[in-house]
Structure formats: structure tokens, C-alpha cells
Structure 1
């Protein structure tokens, strides 16, 4: 029996976390969620995940800082970002930072669940 892939979904909005968790779990994934970058870092320190999907704009440890920390501690973790925009810097700058630190893809909210599932299951690039 093939083990289920595991994903950590990080977003400071409960409804977003729940919606994504339901969609991804329906595709056969083991899903865990975190409400902040800080909570995600604690979970990542004690568990192994196949994929991280994180909001880029969150209070405290934002998604870019989370991606940066993951790249240093778990370089093989498949990482995706998502954003609906936010304060401080432009969306384009935040997307560029996420990609520089290793996000495979960044999704603009709202996005289609089927598009997300296809990206999560795509093979690693060569």
C-alpha cells in the first residue's frame, strides 16, 4: 500500500485553511494545518511533510520567512505559496521573494482547487 502524501497548509484565515484542507484531503492527502508561520515552524521541527502550502502575507512570521526557514532546514520540501495581496510591499515583489527562496509556484487567491491539486502532484522539475 502506498503511503499518503502529507501537506502542511498555513494561513492565518480559518476559512481558507479549512476549505483547502477539505479539498486536498478529498484527493487522498494527509492534511495538517497551522494558523501562523510560528505554529508551522514548530510543526515542521517535529514532523516531516511532503509539501508546504503557505500564505505569503501573515502577521509575525510571514510566508516568505517561513519558506526561507524551510529551505535551510528541509531543502527537499516541495513548497508552494499563495496570496490575495497584502500591505507593505507589492504583490509582485512578494511573489519574487517567494520564488527566490524556493517556492515552486505561487497561487493568487481565489484559485481553482483542481489547479492546486495538479500542481501538488506534478513531478519535481529536473
Structure 2
């Protein structure tokens, strides 16, 4: 992978699986994005409240606060924040639940997914205007595997 041609996105990644988180962080950073990692939905929600992001990339099944609840909470506070969902398991009817909202996810990626598919989705998302942005916060600690 190489750095992308367009402007970098500020990406908040909520992923509790340590190996998957490391791979995502490396690939997104190599593609030129600014990446902040959260080991669960609760940390991701706190980070999203402290700093402005261009995209939330979230797993659904996480401890403390699920991706489902994270998306719901952030939709109340930041309805225009683009969301990409990645999951290894989607319950029956889950896709319909995700897409019946006024602001559905930009993409639903089933693990394991092709990283090129994720990068293509990210290429279609424009960074939010910089005015009023808080600086990036320090990376949240990862969960031990």
C-alpha cells in the first residue's frame, strides 16, 4: 500500500481484537490517514467526544459498549459522522437494522474483508473542515489479547 493521493482522514477505529487493531492501524497510517485506536466502544465514545474525526470505523461486538451502542450514541451527538462497520458476525436482521436509520453506514464489511475494499470506501469520504477541530488525542491503550 502507498500513501493516498487525497487529503488524510482522521479515523477513529474501535476494535477490541488486538491483532486486527494493529493491522488496521498500520494499513490506514501507511495509506496516509491519521488513526486513533480504541479498544472498545466506551473508549471510542470518549475519544469522539474529545476530538473531531472524519470517520468512525467500528466493530460491532466489543466489550463495555458495543459498536451498535457506539453508533447510536454518536448519531445523537454527531449525526453527520460517516461510519464504516466491520464485523465477523451479523445477527439475522442486523443489516436491516443498520440500514434503516436516516444515516446508514457508508459500508458494511464482513470479516475477514479485503483491505482494498476498505481503502476504496475511505477514498470516497472527504475530510471535514478543519475549523474548530481539537487536536488529535493520544492513542488509547489496547486490550491485551
Bin the TM-score by the shorter chain. Answer: 0.7 to 0.9
TM-score, length of structure 1 as denominator length: 0.86
* 1:78-117 → structure 2 map (5 Å cutoff): 78-85=82-89, 91-101=91-101, 102-117=104-119
Mapped to 1, the partners of 2:39 and 2:93 lie a distance apart of 23
Structure (1 or 2) with the greater helix fraction: 1
Pick closer, same or farther for the CA change 1:121–1:92 going to 2, 3 Å. Answer: farther
Q: Deviations over 1:48-94 (max 9, x none)?
A: 00000000111221111111111110111110111101xxxx52423
Q: Secondary structure at the match of 2:35?
A: strand
Structure 1 segments, 4+ long, off by >3 Å, are none
* Greater C-alpha Rg: 2
Query: Bigger shift: 115-124 or 24-33?
Result: 115-124
Q: Counterpart in 2 of 1:22?
A: 26
Structure 2: unaligned runs, 5 residues or longer: 1-5, 127-145
Query: How many residues align structurally?
Result: 119
What's the C-alpha RMSD, in Å, of the aligned pairs? 1.8
What runs of 5+ residues in structure 1 fail to find an aligned partner?
A: none
